[in-house]
Structure 1
Amino acid sequence: MTQPLHTANLLDPPLELPCGAVIKNRLIKSAMSDSLADGEGNPTEAQSRLYERWAEGVIGLSVIGEVQVDPRFPEKPGNLVLTNQSNLKDLQMLTSRASINDAHIWPQLGHAGGLAYKLLSQPKGPSPLKISEFECAGMSEKEVSLLPDVYARAAKIAKKTGFTGVQIHAGHGFLLSQFLSPLFNHRKDQYGGSIQARSRIVIEIIEKVRDAVGGTFPIGIKMNSSDQLEGGLSQDDALEVIRILNKTSIDLIEISGGSYFPGAKSSSDSASSGPYFIDFAIKAKSLTSIPLVVTGGFKKREQVIDALSINAADSIGLGRALILRPDLPNEWIDGEGVTPRFPKFKSPPQGGITAWYTMLLTAIANDNEREFNLELLPAIQAYENRDKARVMRWQAKYQL
């Protein structure tokens, strides 16, 4: 049944960012690690087609997850990399196809830090740490001080190759999230201690990126509402980060939560039937004039309408719903109440659901999702084997 026009209009209005850029509607494809690069940090035909599919589906903004600023600390060997070794022509092909229909396409500038892929990295976080099977070295003060320039160089490449903005990744347990979290950040210098000090490197990166890309190029950030880990970033500290970000030139703040820390329960694997972070988003909205996106747990059109109608956020981030139905924004904006059919998995291993969805992404990127029939365990095996097959290419490219 078609919804009343006034509710459809909540999804359709453009969102103007502080820098002056305009996102054409209120639906965003949040960052997911699609793992579709070529094993040397460059985009592939399949990856370009995937983001073209979402642009065809009328998404306002797509964010490419886990685009690495330093190949020594990748999340996975299927990540894109933005450095002076990047293939600019292939990146331009990706962005030209991903930006049809006036869609925005942003890379999520990331550094895995202590969660870097161990077959390619010697992980380093804010502090040396060993918790159960998790172990990483700590960064020196000089290494930390170089990070803003590393992010700024990646942002300049993004702008040069046709990306329409960038998102700085400070969530989900990766490096900048680790700096914000007292569980990971035990530093005694200017980058550790109070939440203001733990935020320092994030603010320095924002300032350097802004200098690199200019005042009219969008810069977003993704951050946790909490780490959902004992001793991690609390909601009170996360709200203080919102206050701090409000004084910067950031154009869009995306709220999520949780961590890929070993043993942590993923929010996206939750059995919850509703959005996860609405209450936090409402509090955050009162602390900032910067447009806010809330991501996590949105499965139904009415959930999106409800969040927008109570002004919990300015836009809604969607993830797995857009894997199940890449054309969902077009349907929802047209007033159709279609709900994706989410599969249910019995006792999945950690990371298994993510692997299944990532392999479905691969099918979409090859326009053959109708033939996708992998069960959970074969999907996990295919996902892991693909990453391992790329290790030698990555090592050769970056001389690791």
Structure 2
Amino acid sequence: MKRDYPHLCEPLTVGRVTLRNRMCSAPLGATDITAEGSPGPRTQGFYELRAKGGAAVVTVSELVVHPETDGSQMLRLSLKTPGQLAAFSFLADAIKRHGSVPSIELSHSGQYAGTYMVDKKGKQGLCQYGPSDAVRPDGLPVKALSHEQIADIVAAYAQAAALAKRAGFEMVMVHAGHGWLVNQFLSPYFNKRDDEYGGPLENRVRFAREVLAAVREAVGPGFPIELRMSGAELFDGGYDVDEGCRIANALEGLVDIIHVSAGSYQFGFSVTHPSMFREHGCNVYLAKQIKKHVDVPVATIGGLSDPRQMEDILASGKADLVVMGRALLADPDIPNKVMANRGQDVVACLRCFVCMAERAVTQTRRCAINPRIGREFEGMDVVPAAKPKDVLVVGGGIAGMTAAATAAERGHRVVLCEKESELGGILRTEQALPFKRDMYELGRSYARRCEQLGVEVRLNTPVDAALADEIGAEAAIVCVGSEPLALPMPCEDGARVLSIDDLYLDGAETGDEVVVIGGGLTGSECALLMSQQGKKVHLVEMRDGLAVDANVRHRPILLAEVEKAGIDVVLNARGKEVRRDGVVVTLADGSEQLVRGDTVVCAIGQRSRSAAVDALRDCAPFVRVVGDARRPANICTAVYEAYHAALDV
């Protein structure tokens, strides 16, 4: 068989272990962790899905090696806890039985202990430890580790590695990046010690060398050790890529793979986890530089999901392995698709941070476009229907396409009707925003999937009760979506007012000074786009904050982009009147202000197409209303409701 992506499909031997391809699953936090730190059944399913999808290595994250000095709510492994070793053994078995190498990340948060605690006030009672005495930006004091504590932590890394091997893991990863403890010792910013662990680089790498040497002694020769490091810290006072190369060179003799990430928790979440405002593969240059200075295989990571890009990274010698995190939540089957020459079928991650926001808020996992994530053991697999039915799906947006594809995959005969000339619904608007191109491509991916599954698609076909009766469906899933709200205020004759659809779908032109009314997620993104096009932009919001409907991970990143763009933000301002020269708003104190502009863009929200829904409520024995047609929300809600509706038919 001739491979479309020969470099990605090539095996690689590290130590005594052979990886079946060059695509690995990055460590992503577990889903259900018991109070004692054991992995629950959902965690097993969470990691097993990536193994089923064909990843060469599936790394479990994060195993806290020394709970005495690291109070984070993550996995722990100790013989003192009954059943804990067994739980990890079941987890390793679940990964191995699908041909993947099970690995586990050995971690210590250092001065960031408590980062993953849902009760953020709880970390106030923790003692934060690091290389040096310090005070965190949030005011928590950090206490320098003593020599005795350092020795104890080094021994704990070794013990955790030995137990992981005993449980059946075939590889370990030592986390030395992202501002965690090992990285804190490596960093001139965090490490202010004046003993043998601080000062010049040869001292700052001492702790890492001791940890790696202890782990090697614990697991023996031939057992692969992967070092995860930040190629550069990418903030003032941290080490740069040149020093990152020297660190890698100083440690390569103790490891089998160097996994090069970027940044630090404190200074750049969107750098370490590239947001939609950054290029795919924006951190690959760090791996490329480090690879020039070491002889062990180098892995790279950072917003990667396109097989063509990943193949080029390996073919051009920038790295030896590619690692995916969020991409394998959106589409766990990327490696299998690549191996089968089906790269065009990959469903790309949106980089919307729903997965990481859910982790921060509820300690579970959720993916906006993959309803199975974190719920793999809940009977949510697509299984053939006992009796195939005629299914009508009304609306060809993301909800409609999800419902149609899922129903067709179950063996139902599906007709999908869309009133427009193209599938995609609201996703079609995203083609206008360069930083949301992946969302537009999602619509195209789902349209191809519907075609491949034999869904009968009828474009330019609005559905009413008469047409539904004519089709005679046994089940109908109504996904007619929503429509923009109109401005609830008077508009002067001659004022130029545009909707988001006018702007994004119809290509309407604005003047040089734009007022965007509505500072939610859609309005904030619109203002950012207008600014990128060189317009002077004012963003008006009646609440006291922007993008309050954005998730907790994406929102601060978006707000930083708005601030960087220099957009004039007017909060606590309620629109009173649209004039030809701008918008008159009423401020919180009752005063009025004219926000000047030659074009007004309305982004105040959506409303369900309730009339269309009401007309179809009796169109079949089984009727389910999903997505924005039920209640305007987001892609995640639409996909989940549509998926479950199709499973229920």
- Residue 365 of structure 2: aligned partner: 358
Structure 2 match to 1:343? 350
Distance 1:227 1:344, change over 3 A: closer
C-alpha displacement of 1:327: 1.4
Greater shift, 36-45 or 53-62, is seen at 36-45
Paired position in structure 2 for 1:11: 8
Q: Does structure 1 conserve the Cα–Cα contact (< 8 Å) formed by 2:92 and 2:169?
A: yes
Query: What is the TM-score when the length of structure 1 is the normalising length?
Result: 0.85
Matching residue of 2:86: 89
* Cα drift, residue 365 of structure 1: 5.8
Task: State the partner residue of 2:103.
Answer: 106
Structure 2 match to 1:387: none
Letter paired with 1:139: L
* Partner in structure 2 of residue 394 of structure 1: none
Q: Which has the higher contact order (CA 8 A, sep 6+)?
A: 1
Per-residue deviation, residues 210-250 of structure 1 (Å, max 9, x unmatched):
1111102111110001112211122111110111122x231
1:42 correspondence with 2:54: no
Which 5+ residue runs of structure 1 have no aligned equivalent? 382-400
- In the alignment, what sits opposite 1:391? none
How far does residue 100 in structure 1 lie from its aligned partner after superposition? 1.5
- The answer to whether the aligner puts 1:323 opposite 2:329 as a matched pair is yes
- 5 Å-filtered alignment, 1:112-127, equals 112-117=109-114, 118=123, 121-127=126-132
TM-score between both structures, scaled by the size of structure 2 = 0.53
Q: Is the 8 A contact 1:72 1:120 kept in 2?
A: no
Q: Is 2:179 the counterpart of 1:145?
A: no
Query: Partner amino acid for 2:47?
Result: Y
Which amino acid is the alignment partner of residue 249 of structure 1? Answer: L
Say which of 205, 211, 216 aligns to 1:205.
Answer: 211
Native 8 Å contact 2:9 2:21 kept in 1? yes
Amino acid at match of 2:265: Y
Asked if residue 306 in structure 1 is aligned to residue 312 in structure 2, the reply is yes
Larger radius of gyration: 2
Alpha carbons 2:66, 2:153 under 8 Å: kept: no
Q: Call closer, same or farther: CA 1:49–1:187 in 2, change over 3 Å.
A: same
1:352–1:377 CA contact under 8 A, matched in 2: no
Question: Offset of 1:379 from its aligned partner?
Answer: 7.0
Change (3 A) 1:265 1:128: farther
Contact between 1:75 and 1:115, CA under 8 Å: does it hold in 2?
A: no
Higher mean alpha-carbon deviation, 21-30 vs 112-121, is at 112-121
Q: Is the 8 A contact 2:192 2:199 kept in 1?
A: yes
Q: State the distance in 1 between where 2:42 and 2:134 align.
A: 38
Alignment of 1:27 with 2:23, yes or no, is yes
Closer, same or farther: CA 98–10 of 1 in aligned 2, 3 Å: same
Let me know the Cα RMSD of the aligned residues: 2.8
Between the aligned partners of 2:365 and 2:235, the Cα distance in structure 1 is 25
Alpha-carbon distance in structure 2 between the residues aligned to 1:365 and 1:60: 22
Opposite residue 53 of structure 1, the aligned amino acid is L
Matched pairs, number: 370
Q: Please say if residues 305 and 348 of structure 2, whose CA atoms lie closer than 8 Å, have aligned partners that are also in contact.
A: no
Which runs of no fewer than 5 residues in structure 2 stay unpaired?
115-122, 368-372, 383-398, 403-520, 522-547, 554-649
Counterpart residue identity of residue 138, structure 2: E
Superposition pairs of residues 172-251 of structure 1, within 5 angstroms: 172-246=178-252, 248-251=253-256
Residues in 1 aligned to 2:181 and 2:214: alpha-carbon distance in whole angstroms: 17
- Is the Cα–Cα contact under 8 Å of residues 255 and 281 in structure 1 kept in the other structure? yes
Answer with 43-52 or 261-270: which moved more.
261-270
- 8 Å CA contact 2:197–2:204 kept in 1: the answer is yes
Q: Tell me the CA shift for residue 34 of structure 1.
A: 2.6
Is residue 31–residue 46 contact of structure 2 (8 Å, CA) maintained in 1? Answer: no
> Aligned partners of 1:108 and 1:31: how far apart in 2?
7
Identity of aligned residues (%): 27
The one-letter amino acid of 1:343's match is: L
Please give the per-residue CA displacement for 1:232-285, whole angstroms capped at 9, x wherever unaligned: 122111110111122x23111100011221675443142223202222222211
Q: Which amino acid aligns with 1:47?
A: T
Match of 1:278 in 2: 284
Alpha-carbon distance in 1 for matches of 2:358, 2:280: 18
Are the equivalent residues in 2 in contact too, given 1:134–1:262 (CA < 8 A)?
no
Separation in structure 1 between the aligned mates of residue 201 and residue 338 of structure 2, nearest angstrom: 39
- Provide, for residues 339-365 of structure 1, a one-character-per-residue CA deviation record: whole Å limited to 9, x for no partner: 4343365xx89x748648933342346
Of Structure 1 and Structure 2, which has the larger fraction of its residues in strand?
A: 2
The residue that corresponds to 1:393 in the other structure is: none
Could you say which residue in structure 2 is the equivalent of 1:132? 137
Alpha carbons 2:161, 2:219 under 8 Å: kept? yes
CA–CA distance in 2 between the matches of 1:53 and 1:264? 26
